[in-house]
């Protein structure tokens, strides 16, 4: 009786339907995550519609059948070709799972494709985890090969046609849901998400012309400094108990400090482009790509008689980042990249070069507007400051992947002392009121410093912490030519910066407010809700508008 039951069970498991179910369990556990599958099924059934729930199950079933038709195909060359294709897909999927806790998604494909110039740096930083993913992929495929050897059933060669047909269905589903639902086997998900990301690249339309002329002469020298990965609450200015920016703390009576502001989005590219273009909250997510055709800040500056500078301290070569296109270069008189001008310059010296260059610009007789993208405190934090400037101990090494909370905070705080405090010391001690310079300072996004282990600190699309968009915002105006009112300590965001820059360039306050909303010249209501976008600025892939709740709640 027992042996017959065991034999019957074996027949069920090794039948085509049993093998399909077995493959489905493997995909759910290894290539997806049971929690993610539960979430997406729950989302489709209870928050979307029954029709979409059934459509996803149909596409998932077809995709599993396509994989099974290749894995157990009678044609051996076809089978080995399948393993060759499966291997890199599995490596990519598992690498992301090891680094950020979930498998490769559409938003990851968009982010990776838009940041191709950083691929080498990413591989270098995460080399041990990539190696672990390669080893895990070899083990997984070896086990699947063993399953094939133990299974007698074989699919006819013609059944392999199920795979390309399923690929069409999966790709259609991914693009139709803009990547929100891409939970399919890695053999489909990785290449098709990249395909969707490439096909869905942002357009490069012409920018709209400046519709008005300035009403008055703007400030002679105006600099916008966009730092990288600076969390407002980790600065002494906003948290006196933290000794990360002692020089700035001594300067606080000479700053218009707007406290903990909120960024537009929790990703660098979207944050920069939205700030360059004056994107408004009501336009998020910008699925119509309106941001890319809006009049940008360089156009307004040129119209107001400024010579325009764009300084990128992050990349070298002729690479454009942050969704910028050749169209934007038409309105930039001088493009500077310290890494390209001085290839031997250490990474942590790039921002110091920028500070020295801004000092020179402040001394020029001509009217100048500069937009600066600092190198900042980008992960790995240990490379952003000199080794002899490690004030806080113990620290992570430049190769560290595991984020021990104490070491991570110490390393990040050392980065802040150098790339923020030392930077501003060099800047402010060499620019005086006679230079008629106004500097607006913020960061593209913050860092989620509540997590330990191997995790990402920004750009998350699930369980997003407000720390990811908690950024500093202040104005330094040694000559007091901006005539800004005393700042409040709460309620500000990136959305206040673009209209402020326009007023500082001489554009009429009434027109600016009508077109772009409130500036730092206007009073804000601290109780008014602040929103930010978690995910892609243009709504590609998983994304959501979330409320910026501050102070930070426990566990976030």
CATH 3.40.720.10 fits 221-548, yes or no: yes
DSSP state of 260: E
Of 338, 411, 425, the closest CA to residue 380 belongs to: 411
CA terminus-to-terminus distance, the chain: 56
Q: For residue 435, give both structure tokens.
A: 């230079």
Phi, psi angle pair for 507, to nearest 5°:
-80, 150
Phi, psi angle pair for 552, to nearest 5°:
-65, 135
Of 62, 412, 351, 65, the closest CA to residue 226 belongs to: 351
Q: Using CA atoms, how far apart are residues 481 and 511, in angstroms rounded to an integer? A: 21
Q: Using CA atoms, how far apart are residues 501 and 464, in angstroms rounded to an integer? A: 30
Q: For residue 474, give both structure tokens.
A: 């202040």
The reported pLDDT for the residue numbered 454 is 44
With residue 442 as reference, give the H or E element that holds it: strand 437-443
With residue 544 as reference, give the H or E element that holds it: strand 544-547
Q: For residue 358, give both structure tokens.
A: 């801004």
- Give yes or no for a contact between 534 and 520, defined as CB atoms under 8 angstroms apart: no
Q: Using CA atoms, how far apart are residues 373 and 370, in angstroms rounded to an integer? A: 10
The reported pLDDT for the residue numbered 109 is 86
Q: For residue 196, give both structure tokens.
A: 């969707």
Distance of CA 517 to the CA centre of its chain: 25
Would you call the peptide bond into 285 cis, given omega within 30 degrees of 0 as the criterion?
A: yes
**Alpha-helix residue ranges (DSSP H) falling in 449-537:** 497-504, 509-516
- Give yes or no for a contact between 69 and 160, defined as CB atoms under 8 angstroms apart: yes
Angle between the N-to-C axes of helices 268-277 and 497-504, in degrees from 0 to 180, rounded to the nearest 10: 40
Of 551, 346, 306, 533, the closest CA to residue 438 belongs to: 306
Q: For residue 199, give both structure tokens.
A: 């096909």
The reported pLDDT for the residue numbered 3 is 58
Q: Using CA atoms, how far apart are residues 369 and 390, in angstroms rounded to an integer? A: 34
Q: For residue 227, give both structure tokens.
A: 């730092």
Q: What is the pLDDT along the chain (556 residues), one digit of tens a residue?
A: 455 555 555 665 668 888 888 888 999 989 888 877 887 887 677 766 788 889 999 999 999 999 999 999 999 999 999 999 999 999 999 998 888 777 888 878 877 887 787 788 778 878 888 999 999 999 999 999 999 998 988 999 999 999 999 999 999 988 887 676 788 999 999 999 999 888 877 888 999 999 999 999 999 999 999 999 999 999 999 999 999 999 999 999 999 999 999 999 999 999 999 999 999 999 999 999 999 999 999 999 999 999 999 999 998 777 788 989 889 999 999 999 999 899 899 999 999 999 999 999 999 999 999 999 999 998 788 899 999 999 999 998 776 655 678 888 999 999 999 999 999 999 999 999 999 999 999 999 999 887 654 456 777 777 788 999 999 999 999 999 999 999 987 899 999 999 999 999 999 999 999 999 999 999 988 778 899 999 889 987 778 899 998 776 654 5
Would you call the peptide bond into 551 cis, given omega within 30 degrees of 0 as the criterion?
A: yes
Distances 344 to 284, 340, 360 between C-alpha atoms, Å: 41, 9, 22
**Alpha-helix residue ranges (DSSP H) falling in 115-205:** 119-125, 127-150, 162-176, 186-199
SS3 41: helix
Would you call the peptide bond into 291 cis, given omega within 30 degrees of 0 as the criterion?
A: no
Q: Using CA atoms, how far apart are residues 303 and 306, in angstroms rounded to an integer? A: 7
Instruction: Give bridge partners of residue 531 from the DSSP assignment.
Output: 547
SS3 119: helix
Query: Boundaries of CATH 3.40.720.10 in the chain?
Result: 221-548
CB atoms inside a 10 Å sphere around CB 1: 5
**Alpha-helix residue ranges (DSSP H) falling in 261-315:** 268-277, 297-303
Q: Using CA atoms, how far apart are residues 440 and 501, in angstroms rounded to an integer? A: 8
Q: Using CA atoms, how far apart are residues 409 and 401, in angstroms rounded to an integer? A: 14
**Alpha-helix residue ranges (DSSP H) falling in 363-450:** 405-416, 423-428
């Amino acid at each position: 009786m027992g042996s017959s039951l065991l034999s019957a069970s074996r027949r069920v498991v090794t039948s085509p339907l049993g093998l399909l179910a077995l493959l489905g369990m493997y995909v759910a556990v290894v290539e997806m995550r049971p929690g993610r599958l539960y979430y997406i099924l729950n989302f489709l059934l209870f928050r979307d519609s029954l029709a979409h729930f059934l459509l996803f199950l149909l596409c998932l079933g077809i995709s599993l059948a396509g994989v099974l038709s290749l894995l157990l195909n009678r044609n051996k060359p076809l089978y080995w070709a399948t393993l060759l294709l499966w291997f890199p897909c599995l490596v990519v999927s598992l690498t992301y799972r090891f680094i950020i806790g979930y498998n490769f998604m559409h938003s990851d494909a968009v982010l990776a494709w838009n940041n191709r110039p950083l691929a080498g740096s990413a591989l270098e930083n995460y080399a041990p985890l990539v190696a672990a993913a390669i080893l895990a992929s070899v083990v997984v495929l070896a086990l699947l090969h063993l399953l094939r050897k133990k299974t007698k059933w074989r699919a006819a060669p013609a059944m392999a046609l199920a795979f390309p047909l399923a690929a069409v269905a999966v790709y259609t589903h991914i693009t139709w849901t803009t990547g929100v639902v891409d939970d399919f086997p890695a053999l489909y998900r990785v290449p098709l998400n990249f395909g969707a990301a490439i096909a869905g690249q942002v357009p490069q339309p012409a920018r709209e012309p400046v519709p008005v002329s300035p009403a008055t002469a703007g400030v002679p020298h105006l600099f916008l400094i966009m730092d990288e990965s600076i969390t407002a609450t980790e600065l002494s200015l906003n948290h006196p108990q933290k000794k990360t920016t002692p020089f700035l703390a001594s300067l606080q009576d000479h700053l218009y400090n707007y406290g903990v502001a909120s960024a537009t989005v929790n990703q660098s590219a979207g944050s920069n482009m939205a700030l360059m273009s004056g994107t408004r909250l009501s336009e998020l997510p910008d699925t119509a790509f309106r941001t890319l055709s809006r009049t940008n800040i360089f156009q307004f500056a040129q119209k107001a008689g400024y010579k325009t500078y764009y300084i990128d301290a992050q990349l070298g070569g002729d690479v454009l980042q942050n969704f910028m296109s050749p169209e934007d270069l038409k309105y930039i008189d001088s493009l500077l990249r310290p890494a390209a001008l001085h290839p031997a310059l250490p990474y942590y010296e790039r921002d110091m070069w920028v500070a020295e260059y801004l000092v020179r610009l402040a001394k020029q007789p001509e009217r100048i507007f500069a937009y600066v993208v600092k190198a900042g405190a980008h992960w790995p934090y240990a490379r952003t400051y000199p080794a002899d400037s490690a004030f806080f101990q113990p620290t992570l090494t430049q190769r560290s992947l595991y984020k021990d909370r104490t070491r991570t905070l110490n390393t990040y705080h050392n980065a802040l002392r150098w790339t923020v405090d030392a930077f501003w010391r060099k800047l402010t001690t060499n620019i005086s009121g006679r230079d008629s310079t106004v500097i607006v300072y913020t960061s593209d996004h913050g860092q989620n410093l509540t997590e330990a282990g191997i995790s990402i600190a920004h750009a998350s699309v699930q369980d997003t912490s407000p720390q990811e968009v908690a950024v500093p915002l202040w104005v330094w105006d040694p000559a007091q030519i901006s005539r800004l009112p005393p700042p409040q300590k709460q309620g500000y965001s990136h959305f206040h910066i673009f209209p402020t820059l326009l007023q500082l360039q001489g554009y009429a306050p009434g027109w600016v407010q009508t077109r772009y909303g409130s500036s730092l010249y206007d009073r804000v209501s601290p109780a008014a809700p602040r929103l930010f976008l978690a995910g892609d600025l243009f709504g590609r892939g998983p994304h959501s508008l979330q409320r910026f709740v501050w102070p930070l709640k426990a566990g976030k």
